[in-house]
Amino acid sequence: MKQLFGAVSSLSRRALMVSASAAVIATMTGMVAQAEGLGTPDKPVEVRMIANEAFANQWQTLMVPEFNKHYPNVKVTIDGVPYVELLAKSMLDATGPSPTYDIIIADDPWVPQLASVGALLDLRSEEVKGWTSEDFDWDDFNVAPLAASEWDGVQYGVPVRSNMLMMFVNKSLYEKAGVPVPTPKLTWDEFLEQAPKLVQDTNGDGKVDAWAIDTYFVREPLTPTIWQTIMNSNGGSLLDENGKPAFNNEIGVAALETHKKLLEFAPTGAISHGFSESLQAFRQGMVATHINWGSVFKGSAIDAATTTLTPEQVGIQVLPMGSKSAGAHRGIWSGAVSAKSENPEAAWAVLQWLSSKEGEKWHSANLGVFPARKSTLAAEPSEPWLVPVFDALQQAYDAAGEGKMWRIRHPRSDAAQQVLADEHSRFIAGQVSAEEALNVAAEKIEKILK
């Protein structure tokens, strides 16, 4: 019996040793596979990204070196493309037989279109879970920015530049005009009542050299976001519960007329102003208020190389109150991994770092990029100038979430946005009434979304 027991024990020990050896081999194999997925010193992995040229070069020169401190064997190349060409080029590449890009940086309304053609990787899949850090914490993201890259119940991206439409204030021009500096409780009616006083001669030469406001007025896809934000703050919406246009009504018409009325208090020639022209006017101290994307705050208030203003002069807040809420508009840039990428683990490593707690903090402090995480906004900012930014950003997230302040989400959202841009422009140019412009837009968009 002892001999039998000894034989069994010996077999058991051998089995345990074999099992342990197999476990070690499996672990080492997994580590090697992971190392290969993220590159090695002898064999680095190359990842290519397509992004908006407005920030692509900044990412390449400043962000990539910081990322490589953590992932030295992942070589990242970023190609910048003009905004108006970015979606078309992303779609063309992602649907081709051999895509060039591993990472696509998509604007807020583009994810449904990219996802509907199978271009994007599910970032919550079992495969990707194996590449995701345990402390990544998906639940830490604010709902509004994270939802920008969700479609049909699948999470295709992460917020990497959480932009929101905000209002910038030149406090010194308000004070010079004897008008109270705005607060988040400012209403549109109050703003329009104060606006004539903000059109002023600041140097006493008898000529107007400062105006009340500048923003988007030119015909381009982002211009209707100003009108939509005014409409949303008054309880209006782009679509109804059945996904049909719901903006061609009294609320939509009044909001469109308000947008055009702002031209009366804007610089000469502002009808042709968009992102760059209105931003330049604000940074040169020519306008008291400026409605633009929040990411330009650092370059408007902090960076002496790009602005004549100082941090003490510049305020940032949500847009004026309507009858229902303050105004904001979601413009989240999301990072997504191409479904055909040959290096998806490395591509996800780039986006994971960009949207991580550490990555957000670095971006906020060094590039002025807005964070999407609750923990980042709740913590004390690394730079004093970020304090008012974080406060305003949280208010904007809340307002946008409550009022559904974002562009149409649909695989054909870009076509719908072009229609809004066309009809909005016809009204601004005085070719049609606000009512006619919105009725035509509603009719065309309903057909597009069918």
Tokens (6 digits) for 430: 């005085």
State how far the Cα of 165 lies from the Cα of 173, in Å rounded to an integer: 22
pLDDT given for residue 390 in this prediction: 92
User: Residue 278: what are its φ and ψ, rounded to 5°?
Assistant: -70, -35
Tokens (6 digits) for 219: 């015909």
Angle at 343 between CA 338 and CA 349, to 5 degrees: 85
State how far the Cα of 150 lies from the Cα of 157, in Å rounded to an integer: 7
pLDDT given for residue 6 in this prediction: 46
pLDDT given for residue 35 in this prediction: 52
For tokens 């970015």, what's the residue? 86
Tokens (6 digits) for 438: 């919105």
pLDDT given for residue 369 in this prediction: 85
State how far the Cα of 410 lies from the Cα of 151, in Å rounded to an integer: 9
Nearest to 73 by CA among 42, 33, 32: 42
Q: Give the DSSP letter string of 259-272.
A: HHHGGGGS-TTGGG
Amino acid identity, position 78: I
User: Residue 338: what are its φ and ψ, rounded to 5°?
Assistant: -65, 135
SS3 label, residue 247: coil
SS3 label, residue 373: strand
State how far the Cα of 227 lies from the Cα of 223, in Å rounded to an integer: 8
State how far the Cα of 330 lies from the Cα of 313, in Å rounded to an integer: 26
pLDDT given for residue 416 in this prediction: 96
pLDDT given for residue 383 in this prediction: 85
SS3 label, residue 200: strand
Q: What kind and span of H or E run contains 288?
A: strand 287-293
Give helix 2-37 / helix 344-354 axis angle, nearest 10°: 70
Q: What kind and span of H or E run contains 165?
A: strand 157-170
SS3 label, residue 150: strand
Q: What kind and span of H or E run contains 336?
A: strand 330-337
CATH 3.40.190.10 occupies which residues in the chain? 45-163+331-382, 164-330+402-449
Write down the pTM of the prediction.
0.85
| Superfamily grouping for domain 164-330+402-449 | Periplasmic binding protein-like II (3.40.190.10)
The residues with which 145 forms a beta bridge, in sequence order, are none
C-alpha dihedral sign at 246, 250, 255, 259? positive
Side-chain-side CA neighbours of 293 within 13 Å: the count stands at 21
State how far the Cα of 102 lies from the Cα of 47, in Å rounded to an integer: 6
Local mean pLDDT, 10-residue blocks, the chain (450 residues): 44 45 38 66 97 95 97 98 94 93 96 96 97 96 95 97 95 98 97 98 96 97 97 97 96 98 98 97 98 92 95 96 96 96 97 96 87 93 89 93 93 95 98 98 97
Residues ≥6 apart with Cβ < 8 Å to 245: 238, 239, 441, 442, 445, 446
Specify whether the CB–CB gap between 197 and 190 falls below 8 A: no
| Superfamily grouping for domain 45-163+331-382 | Periplasmic binding protein-like II (3.40.190.10)
SS3 label, residue 81: strand
